[in-house]
Amino acid sequence: MAGGFGGTNMQKAQSLIDLGSSSASLVGNSPKITSSDWAVPQASRLKYRQKFNSLDKSMSGYLSGFQARNALLQSNLSQTQLATIWSLADIDGDGQLKADEFVLAMHLTDMAKAGQPLPLTLPLELVPPSFRSGKYTENINGTLPSYQPVQEEEPQKKQPVTFEDKRKANYERGNMELEKRRQVLLEQQQREAERKAQKEREEQERRERERQEQERKKQLEMERQLERQRELERQREEERRKEIERREAAKQELERQRRLEWERIRRQELLNQRNREQEEIVRLTSKKKSLNLELEALTDKHQQISGRLQDIRNKKQLRKTELEALDKKCDQGIMEVKQLQQQLQVHNFLICL
């Protein structure tokens, strides 16, 4: 069992040795990269170099932190993303951005805006060609300088190194590389979780905006319906008012027609009564004349017939009595006619008013 465990450890150590050797030789054995191998597209380089020149008004060859900050803030990225971009782009760590550093920062900004994850360490293909010398590669995310393997060879010549020492060194380098990759993976997972959380927040905000928009539209629709109902109610109220006015006007017109008809009938009745009274007066007047003639005849006859005086006197008295009654009735008729004429005049006067 001990042998098997040892064999397993040897295999693991050998794999870590290979891993450490490969990671240690990334810089030392890398081929020389020219400016044409820079991962930043040529169009982006030209575009952002022009922008750099427009911002570098003093032609100092670099942008201050304040100038670069204003340019980066226009991307509308989060503060965390902008801080990561700054730490990756400021290769020499002087707090300023030279032309290639500014181009790199804007390229990383485009990557973030396109939804691509930002690297925790700057890949070699993104390092500007002007920063690929030994003194800068020491500062690029902990990458070993190209001249370090040469410095390590001198102690090896002075002191022999055993296989166990190499195995331990490679094992430690492999563990460091694994820890580094694990940390990178954890940070990537954290960024992915943050990205998902950000997307969920944005989705929730979008749904909330949609809900608020729907609520606003619903409220507007309810207000429009209420306004339509109020308008219909106003129209119905106006129709009811007009109907009442029409009925009242019709009632008044009917009352006026009835009053005019009654006045017409009453006037006709008064006219008829006046005509009858006038006819009666004419008849009584004629009768009076006739009685007067008869009285004259009787008087003549009285003068002629003295023998029948008593009869004539009686007849005379009788005729006289009848004549007085007729006179009284005639006077009464005249008075009634005058009263009717006065009433008719008053009535005509009222009608004229």
Given a cut of 70, the residues of the chain with pLDDT beneath it are 1-36, 133-161, 302, 305, 308
User: What is the reported pLDDT for 257?
Assistant: 93
Contact 113, 72 (CB under 8 A): no
Contact 125, 41 (CB under 8 A): no
Domain C-terminal end among 160, 195, 219: 160
pLDDT tens digits, 278-298: 999 999 988 888 888 888 887
Q: Is residue 46 domain-resident? A: yes
Tokens of 105: 């920062």
Tell me which residue range forms the domain holding 20.
12-25+33-160
Confirm whether 241 is domain-assigned. Answer: no
Is the domain of 142 the same as that of 21?
yes
**Which CATH number characterizes residue 37's domain?**
1.10.238.10
Residue 340 lies in a domain: yes
Q: Are 288 and 294 in contact (CB under 8 A)?
A: no
Q: Kindly report, residue by residue over 193-231, the tens digit of the pLDDT.
A: 888 888 888 999 999 999 999 999 999 999 999 999 999
pLDDT at residue number 12: 39
- End position of a domain, from candidates 160, 175, 193: 160
How many residues can be counted in the chain? 353
Residue 107's closest CA among 54, 40, 43, 196? 40
Does a structural domain hold residue 260?
no
Distances (CA, A) of 291 to 188, 297, 333: 150, 9, 18
| Claim to verify: residue 19 and residue 139 sit in the same structural domain | yes
Q: Which two tokens stand for residue 111?
A: 């990557």
> Of 160, 195, 214, which marks where a domain is finished?
160
- Residues 311 and 343: beta-carbon distance below 8 Å: no
Count of domains for the chain: 2
Amino acid at 247: R
Write out the DSSP string of 19-56: HHHHHHHHHHSPPP--GGG-SS-HHHHHHHHHHHHHH-
In the prediction, which pLDDT does 4 show?
36
134 near 150, Cβ under 8 Å?
A: no
Residues 6+ apart with CB under 8 A from 351: 263, 267
CA–CA gap between residue 128 and residue 218 (Å, rounded)? 56
- On whether residue 238 sits in a domain, the answer given is no
Q: Are residues 286 and 153 in the same domain?
A: no
Query: Do residues 147 and 276 both lie within one domain?
Result: no
Residues 17 and 148 in one domain: yes
pLDDT of the residue at 192 = 87
- Would you say residue 251 lies in a domain? no
pLDDT score, position 180:
78
Per-residue model confidence (pLDDT) at position 193: 86
Whose tokens are 């003093």? That residue is 58
**Which pLDDT score is estimated for 165?**
76
Extended beta strands in 53-161, E state: 62-63, 97-98
339 falls within a domain: yes
Residue 229: its pLDDT value, please? Answer: 92
Contact status, residue 183 vs residue 112, Cβ threshold 8 Å: no
Res 248: pLDDT: 93
**Residue at 227 is within a domain:** no
Amino acid 267: pLDDT: 92
**What is the distance between the alpha carbons of residues 348 and 345, in angstroms, rounded to a whole number?**
5
